[in-house]
Structure 1
Amino acid sequence: MTAHHAVVVVGGGQAGLSMSWHLGALGVEHVVLERDRVGHEWRDRRWDTFCLVTPNWQVDLPGFPYAGDDPDGFMSGAEVVEHLEKYASSFAPPLREGVTVTRLRRTLDGVFALETTAGSCTADQVVIATGPYHEPAVPRLAERLPSAITQLHSSHYRRPEQLPAGDVLVVGTGQSGAQIAEDLHLAGRRVHLAVGSAPRAARRYRGRDTLAWLDAMGHYTKGVDEFGDADEVRLRANHYMTGRDGGRDIDLRAFATQGMRLHGRLRGIDDGVIAFAGDLAANLDHADAVADGIKDAIDRWIDANGLDAPHEERYVPVWRPARGETTLRTGDITAVVWATGFHRDHRWIQVPVFDGRGYPTHERGVTSCPGLYFLGLPWQWTWGSGRFAGIARDARHLAATITAARRSRVTEDVSWLAGTATETFPALDWVTGRAAA
């Protein structure tokens, strides 16, 4: 695979394909390297009943807006894969599947060197479009569970029948944890759910999908620099709701009335006892308060714009937990699903652009290293950045930055060559950039 490219895009998901579309439209030579197949993350890390939380009209990729007959519906995982495959076929990007980049470094002369499972190549500029979800994160205390208990990370959960009969503990109430708990609950399984501080949002409010209101209000285009602490914003958990069966709220309190056992945050495992913190009531109240805050903002926007929207009564909690810590014996469960997120794995990137937490430092995807960019990160620039809704905008910005950098480099080269007519320069070694002996 030894070759030189103007741009190498690492990752062939929605971010990498969007980047390729824009680069192609601008006539920039490039290659897209995908370690598996297009849509890999949607094929192999989603459960059978998975649906997007965002409505189909937000699946708006560059040059390929949603054109189906259900814009307010929610694509299943299989439909997302099919959509991405059709997108790739629509413009035939220079895509190489089954190629993993194992090392990226910058040489002394400013060129990027990439080592891959298909050989080596170099590039003037590189876009990292591998997303943020790399290695499943499972807490070390999982090692304290008896070996007889089946343990799965949420990325490996597919269906209830995958787990042995008996009670199941789900740890985490982000979007995956809440939806997997619902999946097991609807299948008739007894679920114990460790509830964290993730917020929730109503699926619909005052006659429209909540996300449609937020889009109309400009929330998806609000830059992260408009918030007081960008780092804090980027670490926030997503609001839980679901697109399943046409979309609905996920009401953990209602599940509790139906037999789901809710607990506070997982605190420890010792001597056959699983201990949960006494913060369940606070966590549920916080989630409800966030949902109400979103409704308040929608109400204000409706009033300010004089819109005619039906009135809707506010949510009233249908269940409240008892105060205090709770426990569960390990012998009372047969399986645990860890919906505890992912670790970033950028060890293969040997360029110093990361902060102390391993997060790439950047501004709108542009790092401090000239020619190195990131695309598809949550809150890269807006709330939509890590979703289908904002990929096109972010890719367009990076494509413009890349082409500007290319023009600048050409101008510098031309200026240097022009200067040789009147000035004397030492011969250069074009590999190292040093003066030749």
Structure 2
Amino acid sequence: MSDDSNAAGAVEHREVVVIGGGQAGLSMSWHLTARGIDHVVLERDTLAHEWRDSRWDNFTLVTPNWQCVLPGYPYSGTDPDGFMSRAEVYDWVRAYADMFGPPVREHVEVVSVTQSHGGGFDLETTAGPLRADQVVVAVGGYHVPTIPRFAEKLPHGIEQLHSAEYRNADALPDGGVLVVGTGQSGAQIAEDLHLEGRAVHLATGDAPRVARFYRGRDCVAWLQDMGHYDIPIQQQPGGLGKRENTNHYVTGRGGGRDIDLRRFATEGMSLYGRMVDIVDGTAVFEPTLTRSLDAADAVAESIKDSIDVHIARLGIDAPVEARYRPVWRPEREITELDLRAADIATVIWSVGFRTDYRWLRVGVFDGAGHPCHHRGVTDIAGLYFLGLPWLHTWGSGRFAAIARDAEHLGERIAAGAREKAAA
């Protein structure tokens, strides 16, 4: 803390302010602490609260525990090949904070960030103003739940909620459930409801899928060995457009397994194409179900192809495994569903989130409201982002690479501090 923060009425000044107290903000704090850089972490709720408040009861990670690595804090539990539950992840991240004691201020929300005329940044918070030489935005990329406009046309009496609000089947009213969207959350929530014996209707999207295991190992382990989590986004097909891609659906539940929507259909789940409207109490779907299922399977099989090539190239002794064969195909595309006639009592929207950086009043955004950066470094001196999906690699938005991304920013921040001191 600088001397002027102690003067009566003076604005508190810190070398670095980190905004966000999840795993990204804590990782940043670890590197700043290790470098002896003055900083504070501001968290509008409590540390790691997203793991406690925004996941359903039976949530598990979809990546194995051995891939969970924070700076100076690799997973050291008894089940490295398992998948931590929501509560276990929360406890793990909280224990990380307890390990090194970051300078966190909980229940402090940042209202605005603007550039100071003399350099650095001015922050307005619910606890008063702050001034910082450098700022790290570590609030993730999923801010506001997305719900389609036609949701307002749902018949009266049908409950609706976003996937971020879903907790368990028992919390929902009796009756059928329509889940809209098949990204990771939508597919897993549909499975959760299905396992609880609920009548599930699932409107599919264009999310790809991946097999949990192939040729004797978790597919994540193969991909890790093949370097897929280390390839910079600029070298990926489509380049920066990868940031808009939907993650592959799979689950870590029950020790890890595939999510096969076709198998769910053989067990009674009703599948549809993309939901596009509600007209007079009837849900309207595009005839895209066959295409969606085939495309998801094609991605899963292409990943297996790359694993086969890797095994053959290195001469790895791995068991041979038969390829997947579809267990169900739709006989026809159903494009309408009378919600009341189908006894639909709840609709769960699992169609993603949008960003909300209205409080960050600095010109670093593109026309779609996404921050412009390279490995988290923006063109505004001293402003950084951490914890975003595809910040640098596929691993950036998960535990796999957060430590590496934080270390890179730590070096840049330390260099910025040295430049300021020299000046």
Q: TM-score, normalised by structure 2?
A: 0.96
Q: Which residue identity does 1:370 align to in structure 2? A: A
**2:143 corresponding residue in structure 1:** 134
2:374 corresponds to 1:357: no
For residues 54-111 of structure 1, what are the alpha-carbon distances to aligned partners after superposition, in whole Å with 9 as ceiling and x for unaligned?
1101110000110001000000010011001100000001111111101100011112
2:414 corresponds to 1:408: no
| Equivalent-residue separation in structure 1 for 2:348 and 2:170 (angstroms) | 13
| Equivalent-residue separation in structure 2 for 1:218 and 1:230 (angstroms) | 17
Any residues of structure 2 matched to 1:31-70 within 5 Å, and which? 31-70=40-79
| Equivalent-residue separation in structure 2 for 1:281 and 1:45 (angstroms) | 32
2:383 corresponds to 1:375: no
2:227 corresponds to 1:218: yes
Q: Secondary structure, in 3 states, of the residue corresponding to 1:360?
A: coil
2:184 corresponds to 1:178: no
Q: TM-score, normalised by structure 1?
A: 0.93
**2:240 corresponding residue in structure 1:** 231
With 48-57 and 220-229 compared, the bigger mean Cα shift is at 220-229
**2:345 corresponding residue in structure 1:** 334
**1:76 corresponding residue in structure 2:** 85
For residue 231 of structure 1, report the CA deviation from its aligned partner. 2.8
Q: Secondary structure, in 3 states, of the residue corresponding to 1:148?
A: coil
Indicate the percent of aligned positions where both proteins have the same amino acid: 60
Q: Secondary structure, in 3 states, of the residue corresponding to 2:380?
A: coil
Contact 2:61 2:251 in 1 (8 A): yes
Contact 1:279 1:325 in 2 (8 A): no
| Equivalent-residue separation in structure 2 for 1:323 and 1:134 (angstroms) | 38
For residues 335-363 of structure 1, what are the alpha-carbon distances to aligned partners after superposition, in whole Å with 9 as ceiling and x for unaligned?
10000111111000000100000000000
For residue 200 of structure 1, report the CA deviation from its aligned partner. 0.2
Q: Secondary structure, in 3 states, of the residue corresponding to 1:367?
A: coil
Any residues of structure 2 matched to 1:245-264 within 5 Å, and which? 245-264=254-273
Can you give the 5+ residue segments of structure 1 that lack an aligned partner in the other structure? 414-437
Q: Secondary structure, in 3 states, of the residue corresponding to 1:350?
A: coil
2:202 corresponds to 1:200: no
Q: Secondary structure, in 3 states, of the residue corresponding to 2:395?
A: coil
2:132 corresponds to 1:120: no
Equivalent in 12, 16, 29 of residue 25 of structure 2? 16
For residues 16-55 of structure 1, what are the alpha-carbon distances to aligned partners after superposition, in whole Å with 9 as ceiling and x for unaligned?
0000000111111100001111111111100000000011
**1:435 corresponding residue in structure 2:** none
Contact 2:216 2:318 in 1 (8 A): yes
- Structure 1 residue ranges (4+ consecutive) displaced by more than 4 angstroms after TM superposition: none
Q: Secondary structure, in 3 states, of the residue corresponding to 1:242?
A: coil
| Equivalent-residue separation in structure 2 for 1:175 and 1:338 (angstroms) | 13
Contact 2:110 2:123 in 1 (8 A): yes
Q: Secondary structure, in 3 states, of the residue corresponding to 2:401?
A: helix
Q: Which residue identity does 1:30 align to in structure 2? A: H
2:396 corresponds to 1:395: no
**2:250 corresponding residue in structure 1:** 241
2:233 corresponds to 1:188: no
| Equivalent-residue separation in structure 1 for 2:238 and 2:282 (angstroms) | 39
**1:160 corresponding residue in structure 2:** 169
Equivalent in 102, 109, 113 of residue 111 of structure 2? 102
2:393 corresponds to 1:386: no
For residue 323 of structure 1, report the CA deviation from its aligned partner. 3.6
For residue 228 of structure 1, report the CA deviation from its aligned partner. 4.1
The aligned length equals 412
| Equivalent-residue separation in structure 2 for 1:323 and 1:24 (angstroms) | 60
| Equivalent-residue separation in structure 2 for 1:228 and 1:151 (angstroms) | 37
For residue 325 of structure 1, report the CA deviation from its aligned partner. 4.3
Q: Secondary structure, in 3 states, of the residue corresponding to 1:4?
A: strand
Q: Secondary structure, in 3 states, of the residue corresponding to 1:384?
A: helix
For residues 133-160 of structure 1, what are the alpha-carbon distances to aligned partners after superposition, in whole Å with 9 as ceiling and x for unaligned?
1111101100000120000100000000
Equivalent in 147, 151, 156 of residue 156 of structure 2? 147
| Equivalent-residue separation in structure 2 for 1:21 and 1:306 (angstroms) | 41
Q: Which residue identity does 1:353 align to in structure 2? A: V
Q: Secondary structure, in 3 states, of the residue corresponding to 2:291?
A: helix
**1:311 corresponding residue in structure 2:** 320
For residues 104-140 of structure 1, what are the alpha-carbon distances to aligned partners after superposition, in whole Å with 9 as ceiling and x for unaligned?
0001111201111111100000000000111111011
2:323 corresponds to 1:320: no
Q: Secondary structure, in 3 states, of the residue corresponding to 1:213?
A: helix
| Equivalent-residue separation in structure 1 for 2:201 and 2:237 (angstroms) | 37
Q: Secondary structure, in 3 states, of the residue corresponding to 1:182?
A: helix
For residue 230 of structure 1, report the CA deviation from its aligned partner. 2.4
For residue 223 of structure 1, report the CA deviation from its aligned partner. 0.5
| Equivalent-residue separation in structure 1 for 2:164 and 2:17 (angstroms) | 28
